[in-house]
């Protein structure tokens, strides 16, 4: 299925980047946002690994109910 030029120009990102004059830098912006997302994912995985390591080292804490 072919995409018309009008359909491409009506895309949200296309509209926002063209209105701000950044459309020619769309690939750079996309790459930057992708890199940020990868860093956030890696940070979340590192936090998960640290939590699992802490639970593995003291398994009795995993069975305690939190005080609320």
pLDDT in tens, 22-63: 999 999 999 999 999 999 999 999 999 999 998 888 866 556
Q: For residue 54, what are the contacts with CB-CB under 8 A and spacing of at least 6?
A: 61
pLDDT of amino acid 4: 58
Structure confidence at residue 43 (pLDDT)? 98
pLDDT at 1: 47
Given a contact cutoff of 8 angstroms between Cβ atoms, the answer to whether 9 and 17 are in contact is no
For residue 66, pLDDT over 70 is answered with: no
Digit-coded pLDDT (tens) for 2-29: 555 555 556 788 889 999 999 999 999 9
């Amino acid at each position: 299925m072919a995409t018309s030029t009008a359909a491409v120009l009506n895309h949200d990102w296309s509209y926002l980047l063209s209105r701000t004059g950044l459309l020619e830098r769309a690939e750079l912006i996309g790459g930057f946002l992708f890199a940020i997302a990868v860093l956030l994912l890696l940070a979340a995985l590192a936090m998960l690994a640290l939590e699992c390591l802490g639970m593995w080292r003291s398994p009795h804490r995993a069975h305690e109910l939190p005080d609320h």
